[in-house]
Amino acid sequence: MTIFEKIASGEIPAKLIHETEDFVAFHDNNPQAPVHVLIIPRKCILRVALAEAAHADMLGRMLLASREIAEKLGVLESGYRLVINNGRDAGESVPHLHIHLLAGRALQWPPG
């Protein structure tokens, strides 16, 4: 069971910002920007490359929820970045699909 599954089930406390039946969003414990939220499915999908057609609706709702989350956090107008890492070389550190919402400062491009 990943740390994200434990957070999604409530076994490990987290500062939740958004919650639905299928996914949760919470503040990252190791933020890389002033605003750093993780949006994760409650059921573990190891990585985006392993997502299936059956996950499409939920993944779309996760992306759409980013707007509501950004609005709640006051960064909708200034802008935010969504990042999904896929695999170790991309920076994936937890084998559980997650979307990073980063904001609160000017973000550089390319990212790294």
> Tell me: the pLDDT tens digits for 16-66?
999 999 999 999 999 999 999 999 999 999 999 999 999 999 999 999 999
Q: Are 36 and 100 in contact (CB under 8 A)?
A: yes
Which residues are marked as active site? 98
> Tell me: the pLDDT tens digits for 60-75?
999 999 999 999 999 9
Q: Which domains does the chain have, with CATH numbers?
A: 3-103 (3.30.428.10)
Residue 88's pLDDT is: 92
DSSP letters along 11-31, please?
Answer: SS---EEEE-SSEEEEE-SS-
